[in-house]
Structure 1
Amino acid sequence: MNERDLLAARFEEHRAHLKAVAYRMLGSLSEAEDAVQEAWLRLSRSDTSEVANLGGWLTTVVGRVCLDMLRSRTSRRETPLEHGLPDPVVSRADGVDPEQEALVADSVGLALLVVLQSLSPAERLAFVLHDMFGVPFEDIAPIVGRTPTAARKLASRARGRVRGAVPEPDPDPRRQRAVVEAFLAASRGGDFDALVAVLHPDVVVRVEGGAAGPGVVKVIRGAAEAARQALIYAQRAGSVYPALVNGAAGLVSTRDGRPFSVLSFTVSDGKIVAVDVLADPERLSALDLTVLDAS
């Protein structure tokens, strides 16, 4: 094995971790892959003989690449994911694929990724690298062009916004699944009162695609309105399959044999507090929905 092959092998040891960093930063699976590939290209062109911690070095490289990508989105005003839902990671209901584990570890649900999208690029980087991956502020500071103290403040501001906007999900997957199954039974049975009972009074439902159109997110607030919309949705959807969406209980539906929607639920204290629904046919076609093949 030559030197380049050895370097490639060492890089592959870190690939899953690097993609997890990029996914949290970008909310896009394809862009996360692009960021990881760019990190490999930079590694292959660099002299890393003096690098003691290759994983840490690569993490900061991916962070810098992602920061550039986020800033480029803003400068070009090409921001499909700033207003749309992040890409969901869909797995079979009986377990997350080992290759997906790093992507959805630490309860990185769609509700959290939606909030991360509302942060500035620098805030997002400081929060993701420090709070999620333990990167020291001394290493984050050069990436954002700030002092370590300023980088710490960026993460603190981001932490405050995340803490106030994302409910703590129920950690027990069985309790999550029971609540989602109750939601499904009530919606398919046309039971409005049962739907309201399983929804938090202040539930927030975000729907991308469908009647709202591609790239547009419709936001529904409150249990009564969410229940009404769920009854309409149940009439339009065909077959519905249990799934894990970003590691939490979710649903995948089809109509006429084609993917119709992916639903991600945030369950807290026995109630559904948030639902994120991706119903854009083009985006659905790009997802790995092997859950349907196994059904």
Structure 2
Amino acid sequence: MQPVPEDALADWEVVDAFLAAARGGDFGRLLRLLAWDVVVAGDADAVVMGTPERITGREEVAHFFNGAAKAAPPVFVEDRPGGAWIHRGEARVAFDFTVVHGAVTRIDFRAQPAVLAGVGRRKGPDPVDRGALD
């Protein structure tokens, strides 16, 4: 296991930075936040909603998200920081992030009803505010 620097970002900070870079089209920042072997995978329900089934590699994932995620506020997905595509106040697809040593190593697009029922928006700068979706 690699030592984690004292100034390493918390998982929610990495996720929030990633979503901001995606929305802002900051390709360089996306690359810096992604592990070189990052994987994006969609579950069967998410693929039906239009998400890709699989994307691999930092460049490919950064290209996919660059300028995207405008309707993806920060949320909790099973108590982990993530994002979600929200439509009319309801989570349609959750972006379930895995962060290791300050880098995104995996993003799972999840749209199973049981997962979406547990998605709660993170409001404000306090990452422990688990307010319900608006």
Q: Same fold (TM over 0.5)?
A: yes
Q: Is the 8 A contact 1:261 1:284 kept in 2?
A: no
CA distance 1:233–1:255, shift in 2 (3 Å): farther
Cα distance in 2 for residues equivalent to 1:249 and 1:259 = 14
> What letter corresponds to residue 20 of structure 2 in structure 1?
A
Q: Is the 8 A contact 2:78 2:118 kept in 1?
A: no
> What letter corresponds to residue 74 of structure 2 in structure 1?
Y
Q: Tell me the equivalent position of 1:94.
A: none
Q: Tell me the equivalent position of 1:275.
A: 107
Residues 51-75 of structure 1: per-residue CA shift (max 9 Å, x gap):
xxxxxxxxxxxxxxxxxxxxxxxxx
> What letter corresponds to residue 86 of structure 2 in structure 1?
T
2:102 is equivalent to residue 288 of structure 1: no
> What letter corresponds to residue 288 of structure 1 in structure 2?
A
Which of 4, 16, 22 is 1:187 aligned to?
22
Relative to the length of structure 2, the TM-score reads: 0.70
Shift of 1:205: 0.7
Shift of 1:284: 3.7
Shift of 1:286: 7.0
Cα distance in 2 for residues equivalent to 1:290 and 1:264 = 10
2:5 is equivalent to residue 176 of structure 1: no
Shift of 1:190: 0.8
> What letter corresponds to residue 263 of structure 1 in structure 2?
F
2:31 is equivalent to residue 196 of structure 1: yes
Once superposed, what is the RMSD of the aligned Cα atoms? 3.0
- Percent identical among aligned pairs is 27
Aligned length: 117
CA distance 1:255–1:200, shift in 2 (3 Å): same
Q: Tell me the equivalent position of 1:259.
A: 91
> What letter corresponds to residue 276 of structure 1 in structure 2?
D
> What letter corresponds to residue 188 of structure 1 in structure 2?
R
Shift of 1:233: 4.1
CA distance 1:219–1:255, shift in 2 (3 Å): same
In structure 2, runs of 5+ residues without a counterpart are: 122-131
Q: Is the 8 A contact 1:203 1:274 kept in 2?
A: yes
- Work out which of the two has the higher radius of gyration on C-alpha atoms and give 1 or 2: 1
In structure 1, runs of 5+ residues without a counterpart are: 1-166
Higher strand share: 2
Cα distance in 2 for residues equivalent to 1:269 and 1:286 = 25
CA distance 1:223–1:239, shift in 2 (3 Å): closer
Shift of 1:232: 5.8
Shift of 1:189: 0.6
Shift of 1:241: 2.9
Q: Is the 8 A contact 1:241 1:253 kept in 2?
A: no
Q: Tell me the equivalent position of 1:242.
A: 75
Q: Is the 8 A contact 2:82 2:97 kept in 1?
A: yes
Relative to the length of structure 1, the TM-score reads: 0.34
Shift of 1:183: 0.2
Cα distance in 2 for residues equivalent to 1:194 and 1:240 = 18
